[in-house]
Structure 1
């Protein structure tokens, strides 16, 4: 009889804090009047949503995009500031925008028999997606308007995800972390602590929000990130900068994550 060995990189199952806190240094802050802060890119562009209008602003300009025919704007992928990916889940649609928020392309999952549950930017003119009908992950080529289901059957709901050109990292409803590569291989990384929200930095690095505090989790430990804000609505991390949105202000901190 053949023996099968499974190796899994487990996250800590218990909420154990590391001995040292992660310190941050305030760089600057900016006033932004918005309903929902999305994030800040490497070019100091700030993205947000107000009254279902997508907003992009910096020191020199403020742009907006609105498409009332597609319902509520669900998520925004700004990992490539030159090609923004807007996901309108209620109408099973994706809109691609250029850096001036001009509409480049509109994609409807209904046209190809897919029900998009998550969307993220991949490499080579492609998008990661999870199809709620087949319950599989796939790659959609928006230049050729073709798609391929690449993974095996994966039935659990996805709570958080982060896409990159070569992989899709995500956490499911059971607080299990996974990474998916371009060939459809899914690797289980183990459990992530229950939290109010989670931001995946890399496949084994996650920032968690719990009871108004931020924590940085790796497979080895969980460490508190010390910020001065006692309450905040949202946060993002990009290129060594942690941005905290509270009321109508974004505070940018320099942070060195282990």
Structure 2
């Protein structure tokens, strides 16, 4: 019986290894941050520390802080010319340019109608994707004109995370992964098998479940594990074929070996 169990284990492990995405460790550096927002192709690092957003390029530092709005809930640098900071405690979003200068402030407490926002992500032009917690729907909000360009049907699921680019928005809920286009139409709905975080890169999706990352290529629903082992994943994000993992004041860079 033990021999049969051992054989089954080997077969399962072998299948897992064959179906996984290989990742090669490129760098491992010490880095102090509360969270890392993004790294571009020129290794410009955008991160938060002590509730201050900092942009580090070479040896130059740019900083933005707004203590009156409380802690930074989330930040998104998909569009480096319109970085958005979300302060959930004050129901407010700040839009920054690439020099971290404030170019727009969105106070949802003052908008008509009032919006109770729980999640924010980047949209195209002068828009951001927001999840309206009172209506339980995803909205593409034009912040310059205070209009809704698109909205989804109500979603009866607990929202865990959000990711977007100029054309699509992915909503990770307790039970499903939803993909919407910029018209607010549902494109796909995939069961959530325990994933808790989602990131997007070039329309490829990377998901986190416990201490394992999973990869779903563009226009496919096949989800494969990424072979990064023995590492506590506190935070991760993706730029092109590079996965960055930040944990215990160490920043790891892995290159995905995609076929």
Coarse TM-score class (shorter-chain normalised): 0.7 to 0.9
Alignment of 1:179-258 (within 5 A): 179-195=179-195, 197-201=197-201, 205-210=205-210, 212-217=211-216, 219-226=221-228, 230-257=231-258
Q: 1:160 to 1:96 in 2, by over 3 A?
A: same
Structure 1 counterpart of 2:157: 156
Whether the aligned pair in 2 keeps the contact of 1:198 and 1:209 (CA below 8 Å) is no
Count of residue correspondences: 240
Whether the aligned pair in 2 keeps the contact of 1:162 and 1:170 (CA below 8 Å) is yes
- Structure 2, unaligned stretches of length 5 or more? 1-14
For each residue in 1:44-72, what CA deviation from the matched residue of structure 2 results, as whole angstroms up to 9, or x when unmatched?
Answer: 22122222111221223122211111111
Whether the aligned pair in 1 keeps the contact of 2:95 and 2:104 (CA below 8 Å) is yes
Counterparts of 2:237 and 2:91, CA distance in 1: 26
Runs of 4+ aligned residues of structure 1 deviating over 4 Å after TM superposition are 200-204
Counterparts of 2:213 and 2:135, CA distance in 1: 36
1:121 aligns with 2:122: yes
* TM-score relative to the length of structure 1: 0.82
Aligned-pair distance for 1:89?
A: 0.9
Aligned-pair distance for 1:217?
A: 4.9
Q: CA RMSD in A?
A: 2.4
Aligned-pair distance for 1:172?
A: 0.7
Q: 1:158 to 1:22 in 2, by over 3 A?
A: same
SS of alignment partner, residue 49 of structure 1: strand
Q: 1:100 to 1:91 in 2, by over 3 A?
A: same
Whether the aligned pair in 2 keeps the contact of 1:129 and 1:140 (CA below 8 Å) is yes
* TM-score relative to the length of structure 2: 0.82
Whether the aligned pair in 1 keeps the contact of 2:174 and 2:192 (CA below 8 Å) is no
Whether the aligned pair in 2 keeps the contact of 1:208 and 1:217 (CA below 8 Å) is no
Counterparts of 2:104 and 2:187, CA distance in 1: 32
Aligned-pair distance for 1:22?
A: 2.4
Counterparts of 1:201 and 1:42, CA distance in 2: 13
For each residue in 1:193-217, what CA deviation from the matched residue of structure 2 results, as whole angstroms up to 9, or x when unmatched?
Answer: 214544344767333242x333335
Whether the aligned pair in 1 keeps the contact of 2:73 and 2:88 (CA below 8 Å) is yes
Aligned-pair distance for 1:158?
A: 1.3
